[in-house]
Every structure is written in structure tokens, then in C-alpha cells.
Amino acid sequence: MSNPFDLTGKVALVTGGNTGLGQGIALALAEAGADIVSVALSDSDDTVAKVQALGRRAHAISADLTSIEPVERVVQEALAAMGRIDILVNNAGLIRRADAVDFTESDWDLVMNINLKTVFFMSQAVARLFIKQGDGGKIINIASMLSFQGGIRVPSYTASKSGVAGLTKLMANEWAPHRITANAIAPGYFATANTQALREDPVRSAEILGRIPAGRWGEPSDLGGAAVFLASRASDYVQGAILPVDGGWQAR
């Protein structure tokens, strides 16, 4: 029996694939056999080099995903470079922190645009391609612990990630007949640029680590197994799931 986790011959489009969680996911998919298209505002040279070192093809696309303007261009450039797309990972995102009573409209709109609006329209564009290709596809959205909880001082992030969970289920409901699976990974507290301020705050960092049974911050590579599972045929009957990868945060 062939390996159900093997991604050989598949092409994965990963937004925010230049660093952090996105790079960790891209490298895990490449290790499983996938070719990678990394989409990011800043350069993806490091990701491209690491993917190529694994013997896989890699292509970088520069795009500002704070609006949906580049969505169609991204899809067409990925197609031109790789010939097809089989997997979409909607990872690109932003967070802005301020007390809810002081939160600004500009910070609300910026976060909602990239974390939710572009996620939907990128998924729509790729789903249309999957339907045209005729052999299904995999959509993996990056949700959050705040898809389940309220959090503090991150109103637009909480709203957007709650929305990602809902949209993931809607995509599953509508697109399953086309052999498209739509699921999400909900990372816990990971050592990335988004959590740098928290990790550098000794009080807040201690509070967070005190609730994580694993006793440590997650590393980008910790998402790899979940990403490969949801990108592979091993998850063909998994639809609308929001999979926590959190070191046990929710169990506590």
C-alpha cells in the first residue's frame, strides 16, 4: 500500500511562506514531496533555497495580501511556474494589540483584510481552479486559539480568527462535492515575530508557559505533521475540522 502522507507530484501554494509558521509548513510539505510556491510581501529567498535543498521545486511570488487586488495574479503566476496547484495554505496574517476601548478603525481593517477577507477570496480563486482541474484539492487555513477563546487586547485578531473557523466550515460544506477538503490548524503559542512582545514580557511569558502542559513555546516545525496530514490523502474524509496544535493549552 502506498504511503497516504506522500505529497510527491503535488504543488502547494503557501501564503506568508517566507518566515515563521509559513516557512515551517512549507518545509514540512516539501519534505513530504510537494513543490512549493511561497507568497509574501518580503522576499522568500530563504524558503526557496531550503525547499530546493530538499530536492523540490520552489517559486516565490511577491504580493501585498492586505488587499485582494493581487489574488488572481498570484494564482496565475503560480500556475505559470508550476503547471497546477493542489494545496492552498492560507497562513499570511497580522496582529495588532491595544485595549478594546482604544482600538482604532485602521488597525481593525488592516487585520480583518489580510486575516479574513483575503483568506476567503484566495480560497475562492483556488477552489475555482480545483474545480476546473477536476481532481479535487486541499485548503488549509491557519486559525488560532482565539478561534475558540476571546483573548485580550486583540479585538480584530480575535474576530478574524473566529471568522476563519466559520469560513473553513462553510468551505467544507460547499466544496466537498468537488473533492475539495477545507480544514484549519489552530496554533497555540509559538515562538514567532507575532509573539515576540509576549515572550519578552517575563510576567506574561510565565503565565502562558504555566498553562501549557508541554512546558514550552511551539516551534514552526511543530506544525509540520498537522499540515502534511491535512494536505495529504490521509485526510480525504476530514472536513471542516479546526485542529489545535497547542502543546495542550486547551486541555488545561
Measured CA to CA in angstroms, residue 176 lies from 76, 167, 227 at distances of: 24, 14, 19
Single-letter code of the amino acid located at 134: G
Whether residue 38 contacts residue 48, with contact meaning beta carbons closer than 8 Å, is answered with yes
Say which residue the cell 501585498 belongs to.
Answer: 64
Which DSSP string corresponds to 173-227? HHHGGGTEEEEEEEE-SBSSGGGHHHHH-HHHHHHHHHH-TT-S-B-GGGGHHHH
Q: What is the distance between the alpha carbons of residues 36 and 180, in angstroms, rounded to a whole number?
A: 19
Of 64, 63, 250, the C-alpha closest to 143 is 250
Residue 41 CB neighbour total at 10 angstroms: 15
The C-alpha cell at 248 is 495542550
Catalytic residue among 157, 175, 229, 249: 157
Q: What is the distance between the alpha carbons of residues 169 and 167, in angstroms, rounded to a whole number?
A: 5
Measured CA to CA in angstroms, residue 99 lies from 48, 144, 208 at distances of: 38, 19, 19
The reply to whether 157 belongs to the active site is yes
Q: Which residues are catalytic?
A: 157
